[in-house]
Amino acid sequence: MYQPKEELYRTLKELGYYCRQGAQATFGDGEVPAITFRIENNSVDLLLDNTISHQEITATVDIWADDSKTASRIQTEVEEALRGIGYRMSYSADVPAPTGALFHINCRFETLHTAGKDN
């Protein structure tokens, strides 16, 4: 079974922002803008012989920034980077935040991973 976390982390980290696996987080000095991610789904579809034919993978990516313009720019970079490794952005939302909070964009990315590819 393919585990996508390492590839996702490496791809997101290469963008040059603070990056970590996890959900909502607090960030220290110099850690914003930031990207957090988690795997929401990694399910398998089986062949008749009970081997894996492919996996349906859904990753949620959260972008955190001090201003809306920066968050939107990073979202474009994230989408391009993840599209480059076979993911499709299936959902995106600007998350409302109270005054003084970080700007937050939540995105969902999906892919099908065929068995035998990097397993």
* CATH code for position 38: 3.30.2000.10
Least Cα distance to 86 among 23, 4, 14 occurs for: 4
Number of domains within the chain: 1
CB-based contacts of 65: which residues, under 8 Å, 6+ apart? 32, 33, 34, 71, 74, 102, 103
Alpha-carbon gap, residue 14 to 90, rounded angstroms: 22
Average pLDDT by consecutive 10-residue portion of the chain (119 residues)? 91 96 79 94 86 88 95 98 96 90 94 73
Residue 119 lies in a domain: no
Residue 50 lies in a domain: yes
Residue 75 lies in a domain: yes
Give the model's pLDDT for residue 28: 81
Give the model's pLDDT for residue 65: 95
What is the amino acid identity at position 55? Q
Residue 64 lies in a domain: yes
Residue 88 lies in a domain: yes
Domain span holding position 91: 5-114
Residue 33 lies in a domain: yes
Q: What is the Cβ-side half-sphere exposure of residue 101, based on CA atoms within 13 angstroms?
A: 12
Residue 68 lies in a domain: yes
Sign of CA dihedral 6, 12, 16, 20: negative
Cis ω on the peptide bond leading into residue 4 (within 30° of 0)?
no
Residue 86 lies in a domain: yes
Give the model's pLDDT for residue 51: 79
